[in-house]
Structure 1
Amino acid sequence: MSKSEKMEAGKAARLAALSPFEFKDELIKAAGGGAVQRPANLSMLNAGRGNPNFVATIPRHGFWQLGLFAMREAERSFAYMPEGLGGFPKRDGLAERFELFLRENKGVPGIDFLASAVSYVRDQLGLSEGDFLYEMCEGILASNYPVPDRMLKLSEIIVGQYLRREMIGRHPFVGEFDLFAVEGGTAAMTYIFNTMRENRLIKPGDTIALGMPIFTPYIEIPRLNDYQLNVVNLNAGVESNWQYSKKELDKLRDPKVKAFFLVNPSNPPSVRISDESLQQIADIVKERPDLILLTDDVYGTFADDFVSLFALAPKNTILVYSFSKYFGATGWRLGTIATHRDNVLDRLIAELPKDVKKELHTRYESITTEPDELKFIDRLVADSRTVALNHTAGLSTPQQVQMVLFSLFSLMDTPDSYKCALKRLIRNRKRVLYEEIGISFEDDDPNQVDYYTILDMEFLSERAYGREFVEWIIKNTEPSELLFRLAREARVVLLPGRGFGTPHPSGRVSLANLNESDYRKIGQAIRTLLADYVDRYNNATGKKLDKNKVL
Structure 2
Amino acid sequence: MKRTDEKRLETLSPFEVKNTLIDLAQHSHEKTMINAGRGNPNWVATAPREAFFQLGMFALEESKSNFSGYEGFGGMGVQQDISLRFLQFCEKYEDQEGVQFLIEAFQFITDQYQVDGDALIYEWVEGILGNNYPVPDRMLKYSELIARKYIEQEMAGSQPLPAGKFDLFAVEGGTAAMVYIFNTLKSNRLLNPGDTIAIGAPIFTPYIEMPELEDYAFNKVEIMADEASAWQIPDSELEKLNDPSVKAFFLVNPSNPASVRLSDETLYKIAEVANRRPDLILLTDDVYGTFADNFTSLAMLAPKNTILVYSYSKYFGATGWRLGVIGVHEDNNFDRMIRDLPEDTRSTLSQRYQGIALEPSKIKFIDRLVADSRAVA
Normalising by structure 1, report the TM-score: 0.61
1:104 aligns with 2:92: yes
Give the 3-state SS of the residue equivalent to 1:321 in structure 2. Answer: strand
**Selected match of 1:233 from 187, 204, 222:** 222
Alignment partners' CA distance in 1, 2:341 and 2:63: 50
Tell me what 2:52 maps to. 63
2:310 corresponds to 1:321: yes
Decide which of 29, 39, 64 is 1:75's aligned counterpart.
Answer: 64
Distance across 1 between alignment mates of 2:374 and 2:268: 37
1:149 equivalent to 2:149? Answer no
**Where does the alignment leave 5 or more consecutive residues of structure 1 unmatched?**
1-45, 389-551
Question: Secondary structure of 1:284's match?
Answer: helix
Q: How do 1:498-509 residues align onto structure 2 when only pairs under 5 Å count?
A: none
SS of residue paired to 1:187: helix
- 2:242 is aligned to 253
Which secondary structure state, in structure 2, belongs to the residue aligned with residue 208 of structure 1? strand
Counterpart secondary structure, 1:318: strand
Unaligned runs of 5+ in 2: 1-34
Alpha-carbon distance in structure 1 between the residues aligned to 2:324 and 2:246: 27
What secondary structure, in the 3-state scheme, does the structure 1 residue paired with 2:65 have?
coil
Task: Identify which of 175, 195, 201 aligns with 1:212.
Answer: 201
Q: CA deviation at 1:239?
A: 1.2
Amino acid corresponding to residue 340 of structure 2 in structure 1: E
Alpha carbons 2:253, 2:285 under 8 Å: kept = yes
Could you tell me whether the CA contact under 8 Å between 2:62 and 2:78 is conserved in 1? yes
Task: Name 2:187's counterpart in structure 1.
Answer: 198
Per-residue deviation, 1:168: 1.5
2:332 alignment counterpart? 343
Do structure 1's residue 360 and structure 2's residue 338 form an aligned pair? no
The answer on 1:53 being equivalent to 2:62 is no
Letter in 2 for 1:197: K
1:146 match: secondary structure: coil
Deviations 1:177-228 (A, max 9, x none): 1000000000000000000000011111111101101122111111111111
Q: Larger RCO: Structure 1 or Structure 2 (Cα < 8 Å, ≥ 6 residues apart)? A: 1
Give deviations 1:225-260, integer Å, cap 9, x for gaps. Answer: 111111111001321111100111111001111000
Secondary structure of 1:337's aligned partner: strand
Mapped to 2, the partners of 1:203 and 1:316 lie a distance apart of 18
In structure 2, the partner of 1:181 is 170
- Please give the per-residue CA displacement for 1:115-157, whole angstroms capped at 9, x wherever unaligned: 0000011111221111110000111011110111000011111
Q: Deviations over 1:361-395 (max 9, x none)?
A: 1000010011101111111111111112xxxxxxx
Q: Is the 8 A contact 2:166 2:330 kept in 1?
A: yes
2 CA distance for matches of 1:366 and 1:245?
47
- Which of 107, 110, 119 pairs up with 1:119? 107
How far apart in 2 are the matches of 1:320 and 1:163? 10
Asked whether 1:161 is paired with 2:144, we answer no
Tell me the alpha carbon deviations over residues 256-305 of structure 1, each in whole angstroms, 9 at most, x when there is no partner: 11000000000101100011000000111111121110000000000111
Counterpart amino acid of residue 242 in structure 1: W
Alignment correspondent of 2:22: none
Compare CA radii of gyration and give the structure with the larger one.
1
1:509-528 deviation digits (Å, cap 9, x = unpaired): xxxxxxxxxxxxxxxxxxxx
Letter in 2 for 1:337: I
Cα contact 2:39–2:319 (8 A) shared by 1: no
Counterpart of 1:246, as a letter, is D
Return the letter of the residue paired with 1:243: Q
Residue in structure 1 matched with residue 74 of structure 2 by the alignment: 86
SS in 1 for 2:110: helix
The answer to whether the Cα contact below 8 Å between 2:36 and 2:315 also exists between their aligned partners in 1 is: no
Which residue of 359, 368, 373 corresponds with 1:379?
Answer: 368
Among residues 273, 293, 303, which one is paired with 2:262 in the alignment? 273
Shift of 1:83: 2.5
Distance 1:65 1:164 in 2: 28
AA partner of residue 183 (structure 2) = N
Residue 169 (structure 1) shift: 3.7
Structure-2 separation of matches of 1:239 and 1:263: 19
Matched AA of 2:74 = G
Measure, in 1, the Cα distance between the counterparts of 2:225 and 2:290.
22
* 1:178 alignment partner AA: D
Mapped partners of 1:48, 1:272: distance in 2: 15
Superposed displacement of residue 78, structure 1: 2.0
Where does residue 15 of structure 2 map in the other structure? none
Match for residue 330 of structure 1? 319
Deviates more, 1:283-292 or 1:303-312: 283-292
2:260 corresponds to which letter in structure 1?
V
**TM-score, with normalisation over the residues of structure 2?**
0.89
Q: Is the 8 A contact 2:196 2:218 kept in 1?
A: yes
| Alignment size in residue pairs | 342
Secondary structure at 1:72's aligned position in 2? Answer: helix
Q: For residues 49 and 135 of structure 1, what CA distance do their matches in structure 2 show?
A: 32
